[in-house]
Structure 1
Amino acid sequence: MSLELNKYISSVIFIDDEFEEVESGIIFFRNKGIWTMYFNPNSLTTDYSYNKFNPTLIFLDLIYQKGDSSPIHAINTLRSFTDDGSPYVLVLWTTHSNLVEETKVQIKTKLNNQPSIILTLDKSSLLSKNNSIFEKELNEQFQKNISAHPLFFNLFNWEKESKLAVGKTFNDILDLSNSRNTTDENLENFLSLLTNGFLNKNKLSTSLSVINTILADNISNRFFETDLDLSSNNTSDFNYKLSINKLLMFEEHKSNHIQPGSLFEKNNDKISESDDIITLFVFDISDVTKCFIDITPSCTFAKEKTSIIVESYIIENLTKDKFRKFKSDKRDNYNYLGPFERNGKAAILVYDCLKIQSFSRDNENYSILYKLRNSLNKDIQIDVNNFLSRLGNNLLRVKTKEYPD
């Protein structure tokens, strides 16, 4: 089955000191409607940002000057194009097949942004063919590699389609703000209308959050059912699962200020031996971080400077026995998320539905740890509301030792 390269590959860069050796490759990709550029590594300057191109494919020649016996120059050049962290496929495009393995080793040790896949093409073999055979063999190579790595290349397709969805969202905004020849005044009016119903002081920030929701829908609508099936692969790698859970639980917290879902420490309210989490269970105090989750609904958060927070604990160095005992002994008011990775070990986030407080955001005596994803924070809001609405949950608890003999 023939696969459309431009479905998976949005852009290509050739890095080679001989333009003649890559000209056929440039023509091949451009004829398929794929954005393609050439760079001579010996002509790169230090006053230009090369990592803004974000290519899907990078063809990298390994030796640029006579007498060179190491690919270090090539790896340093590659770093200039990949330091922004975007994913890419690296094609080692060389006549020096003896340097391929050394290059792969050095890439692992010297590059922060590793390629998703490393392919190797024998430049000497391909360049000895005429244009039609060259294109045929190059196409076959990529058909084979896309078939061999379908999930990787489908993720590249997702990235490409997401970028197109951003463009569609941008154009929709311009179309709706009265006209394509919109003035700043028209655009400001459109963005302001998006914030109706929100009382956030920063209207632009609020309107962009609304646009993010529209963008998410546009991204979803660009995809169709795939014939790829993810076979069940219940890996036994415990640490890998912890890292995935951490990714699913938390998002990047770009602000130093509390937001709904912020998980933070109060600098004047640390864990103590008298806290229930220590007295009721078998946790060492050194493994427990007392913290708080902002569970304020977004509409309330926009109107008020005071947040609703729930007392929480991060339990680290979690062992099987400690986790089992916690789950068997915990009261109904305790709930938890996790386990997830923290400081290289297993951890859980425990929250106490009985311990709700108000917290003034004018108070700056706190340190932010994480930002929970919105869906999880809404789950916690529901947990707390459901628990507090149950009849009998507000009855005073009486310890066994308080009963008379």
Structure 2
Amino acid sequence: MTESQGSLSVRSAWRDVPPLQVRRFAALALDEVPALAQDILRQIRSEYPGLPVVLDDSGEPMALIGIRRALEGFVQQIASAEGGRPCYPLEVFQEFGRGEGLHGRSLDSLQAIYRLGVRLAWRRLAEIGQQIEIPPPAMYELAESGFEYLDGLVDQSVRGYAEAAARQAGERLRLQRKLMDLLLSERRGDPGASAPVDFGHSSGASAAPGQPGARSALDERAARVGWQLPERVAVGVLLRPAREAVAPAVGQGVLLDMETEQPRMVVPDPDAAGRPELLRRAMAGWSGAIGPPVPLADAAKSLRWAQAAVRLMERGLLPSGEVLHCTEHTEALVLLQPEELIEDLARRCLAPLAHCGPAHGRRLAETLLAWLETRGGAPEVAARLGVHPQTVRYRLRQIRELWGDEVDDPDRRFELELVLRARRLRGELGRAG
């Protein structure tokens, strides 16, 4: 008898059974194993007709092999004079668990099948024990040990099930990343396609019959992860709150790739009822940006805007500490992203301020922007800036002297407002009150 949990106790009633009688019990039980295994499998199939039959390389049912090995291991445990840990048929019962996981079933039915097998085995062992007059206390302990042995078999199946679940999750993530790579590709075509192909949701002709097309590849990859292609998407780029941060619980339907330095996500139908609120809750503690909603074919464009927004966040030019929507920060994205162009325009438009000194030049620039935005008189501009109207009149006269008739030209006014707004967004000018 064993000394470990899951085996018969050292001080069990079996210690009082003569060794010869124990060996005889074990020999009779082992002789019964092949027929008993067949009976158990037959009964299991009768009660669970939908149970799949999996054969090994020799054509023998894996279930029959597992039942037979489990019975042999248990009986050999009884016959062991030295004791020791029970010997479980690991690979067979782990494979049973893996099979349940890979086919999307729970372990409930498998455990019920195991319990049925133990009950049937116990009946036959009890008959053998009665036949050779094994004392009842020893048989009671044998029944208890049988159910402990069952727990060990279940543990092996749970391990196999968990392994399959992890493998499936990893495979799904791999396929999901491939789907996202194709969806967000600038080329928007099949890797082997000779030209970009329309996805079918935007204007223009689709791929010619027989030509490998992006739509067909996208359909195939989406089907493999169970993702229904939406009409419109928004693409997000995230900043990790910590290197080991747990992935946000964005829920079914949202594609999420956590393998990149800055995780990406694809939100289907971003304007659907309840979607923004669900995302807001799921993204608590994260920061980043979600690009504008676009047709499916233009997902890469939404990604570009999200990436641009994240770059501005990292520079402190957009709010951090939250996941913002690009559509709510259009001005900053339009004016701050083409930095070289805006700076070149600013050098030309604001050249008259070059000799005014930093502080005075800033005050004139703020006054000019307030005037351009209001197109009002001194009182309106003064109210916007929080200064006296007479101060504004003085500054406006200086502005007129510096720029002359240019401030009356609509195109020049537009350019001036453009560059001044960009400077205000960068914090180089104060915000009007």
**TM-score scaled by structure 1?**
0.30
Point out the structure with the larger strand share. 1
Query: Which entry has the higher C-alpha Rg, 1 or 2?
Result: 2
